């Protein structure tokens, strides 16, 4: 998506601090060094620029993984219940 740059504070010496982060919960790359950050705070004007990486933040990736696990667990349970009902219906028909 995009890098967000937001004002944090103005220091006593008048210099402004800005924070950069990904609005898509991804690491940001400091273009000049290649270092990955969750977010970065710099004095304005900043000598660094940032771009968004393809890698999700670990905490966000864990949440995504948990949602996937829950989804597939729910689907598995629904399928098992459906199969059990089908087996019971078939058995009932055979017994009659």
Q: Write out pLDDT tens, residues 35-87.
A: 999 999 999 999 999 999 999 888 776 777 777 666 666 666 667 666 666 66
- H, E, C per residue of 7-45: EEEECCCCCEEEEEEECCCEEEEECCCCCEECEEEEEEC
* Cβ atoms of 52 and 4 closer than 8 Å: no
Out of 29-33, 41-45, 80-84, 91-95, which region has the weakest mean confidence (pLDDT)? Answer: 91-95
Asked whether residue 91 carries a pLDDT value surpassing 60, the answer given is no
> In the beta sheet, which residues pair with residue 16?
10, 44
């Amino acid at each position: 998506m995009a890098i967000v740059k937001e004002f944090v504070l103005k220091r006593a010496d008048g210099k402004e601090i800005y924070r950069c982060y990904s609005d898509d919960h991804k690491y940001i790359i400091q273009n000049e060094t290649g270092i990955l950050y969750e977010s970065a705070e710099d004095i304005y004007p900043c000598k660094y620029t940032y771009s968004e990486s393809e890698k999700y933040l670990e905490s966000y990736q864990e949440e995504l993984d948990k949602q996937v696990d829950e989804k597939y667990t729910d689907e598995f349970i629904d399928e098992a219940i459906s199969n059990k009902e089908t087996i019971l219906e078939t058995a009932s028909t055979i017994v009659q």
